[in-house]
Structure 1
Amino acid sequence: MGRAGRRLAAVPMALLALATVYPLLFTANVAGKTRREYVLDRFSPTGSPHAENLVTAWTGVGMARYAVNSLLVVVCAVALLLLLGSMAGFALSHLRFRGSGALFLGCLAALFVPFQVIMVPLVRIMADGGLVDTYPGLVLAYVAQFLPFTIFLMTSYYASVPRELVDAARIDGNTLYGVHRRVMLPLGAPALLSVGILDALFCWNDVLIALLVMPSPEHRTLMVGVTSLRGQYAQDVPVFAAGVLIAAVPVLLLHLFFQRQIADGVTAGATKG
């Protein structure tokens, strides 16, 4: 492709990048306005940003508490997802047992089942087990929803590890758990990092599961807290925009610092195995 072709191809890419960045810039601009400035002209650049909106959004509906809730749940859910997904990926890619192929196909099929299909029986089962409105309940709900995705990617990645390494570790006297801990986990560290980041983004951005499993206000996650902020400050759009900005900053930083790992995780299933 010549220089003219590259420049021509850059035009739609630049437009796509602008369409992606503009909502964030618009939200940041609105968050810096007073309510009067927003009513008079919502699209003009703000002259002097007002940090009071961020303070109001952070303290108005307890978003600090919601952020702690989200962080606690996401860390526990991602740790459990990586542990179970790595062990299942090792078993499905290197161990031969009856039903292993059907089990992998079952995990693959679970990727195509929308959460809306299973949310009613899931919540009823959790209610019967006393897990509704508890942190362990939300962690288990996230694990149940995102584990098939984690297993699929880890199985695809581990399938590229030579079987000779596993056989050599077994000859050295390692049990299957020892092989997983000493061989598969170090070799799978890049995939675990990529999948962990994707799982963290899925859990952090979730609203529906958290809204169903954690109904009480003190147990809300940050994204659910943003929706409640909209209801409380429906007439004060700058405060609501400040709350959206607060919730978006961790995701934005994660994308900026780990964009290569995120891309590797998205393409792992297509390039491994």
Structure 2
Amino acid sequence: MGGGVRSGKWFVAAPMALLALATIYPLVFTTNVAMKTRHEYILNRFSVTESLRWDNIDAAWNSVGMARYFVNSIIVVGCSVAVLLLLGSMAGFALGQLRFKGSRALFLGCLAALFIPFQVIMVPLARTMADTGLLDTYPGLILTYVAQFLPFTIFLMTSYYAGIPADIIDAARIDGNTLYGVYRRIMLPIGRPALLSVGILNALFCWNDVLIALLLMPSAEHRTLMVGVTALRGQYSDDIPTFAAGVLIAALPVLMIYLFFQRQIADGVTAGSTKG
């Protein structure tokens, strides 16, 4: 029986190890290329670099403009996530705990919005942004991210808050709290795991986006980091180490978020499935 258990573990561990290797190898390869000179890369792109060189990363950060793109992404992602968490938590509290006329239809409408591809609305959206003067501006991209990812945020927060016993809300109201007081003093602290989870996920969605940012931020000055990396591929097609350095700069923040917050992401996603 012991041999059967060990073989069963290997049956699961082997594919997971291969999946982990397939995930880690591109990052290792990109880091190795970013440390090479153009001459080394042309001679043998798969060889291990002889020494650590930061010239390509410095060139990508300063000369190519990745520093500016990085700041643009921080501004847009930070503001978008803050608005998403505020609106999503308030809507989740209302739809998950309060019963009012049309609440069920409103929740179903949010669910339906999850199934609308962005490609369906991108043309009228671009025209609307141009007509209102929001094209190629931070507020225009922030509002678009909020509209695009708010249904997902509301769905997760509603599912989480719906699992909280209604007795807690009733007790808080009896103590004299208004609905806003219940939301601020009770629901926000209780919803911290879900808020952290959905905040991280939305940050990753916004950070990795290329299509929306490319559509609404056409100028080089306002490019986000991922759009900058895409443009870098065309400008430095003959200088792959510099391009690899730009990819590495864009990937490192996402990697750090996964490494430091993987437990919080898992806990937040599963928190809404249990009551109390």
- For the criterion TM > 0.5, the same-fold answer is yes
**Aligned match of 1:112:** 115
What is the deviation of 1:124?
Answer: 1.5
In the TM superposition, what are the counterparts of 1:141-180 in structure 2 within 5 Å? Answer: 141-180=144-183
- Per-residue Cα deviation, 1:45-83 (whole angstroms, up to 9, x for no partner): 111122110011112221111111100111110000000
Answering whether residue 20 of structure 2 is matched by residue 11 of structure 1, we say: no
- Per-residue Cα deviation, 1:126-171 (whole angstroms, up to 9, x for no partner): 2222111111111101000000000000000001111111111111
**Aligned match of 1:95:** 98
**Aligned match of 2:79:** 76
SS of residue in 2 equivalent to 1:2: helix
Equivalent position to 1:199, from 194, 198, 202: 202
CA contact (8 A) 1:77 1:139 kept: yes
CA contact (8 A) 1:81 1:143 kept: yes
Would you identify which runs of 4 or more consecutive aligned residues in structure 1 move more than 6 Å? none
Unmatched tracts of structure 1, length 5 or more: none
**Aligned match of 1:62:** 65
Equivalent position to 1:129, from 124, 129, 132: 132
CA contact (8 A) 1:30 1:38 kept: yes
Letter of the 2:118 partner, please give it. F
CA contact (8 A) 1:159 1:272 kept: no
CA contact (8 A) 2:76 2:142 kept: yes
Partner Cα separation in structure 2 for residue 133 and residue 268 of structure 1: 38
Q: Bigger CA drift: 107-116 or 82-91?
A: 107-116
Partner Cα separation in structure 1 for residue 160 and residue 31 of structure 2: 39
**Aligned match of 2:247:** 244
Unmatched tracts of structure 2, length 5 or more: none
Letter of the 1:110 partner, please give it. A
SS of residue in 2 equivalent to 1:230: helix
CA RMSD in angstroms comes to: 1.3
- Per-residue Cα deviation, 1:158-206 (whole angstroms, up to 9, x for no partner): 0111111111111122111111001100100111011100010111111
Partner Cα separation in structure 1 for residue 46 and residue 191 of structure 2: 48
What is the deviation of 1:254?
Answer: 0.4
Q: Could you state the TM-score of these two structures normalised by the residue count of structure 2?
A: 0.95
Letter of the 2:232 partner, please give it. L
Partner Cα separation in structure 2 for residue 10 and residue 84 of structure 1: 41
Q: Could you state the TM-score of these two structures normalised by the residue count of structure 1?
A: 0.96
Letter of the 2:152 partner, please give it. F
Partner Cα separation in structure 1 for residue 236 and residue 199 of structure 2: 34
**Aligned match of 2:216:** 213
CA contact (8 A) 2:57 2:242 kept: yes
CA contact (8 A) 2:194 2:269 kept: no
Q: What is the aligned-residue identity percentage? A: 75
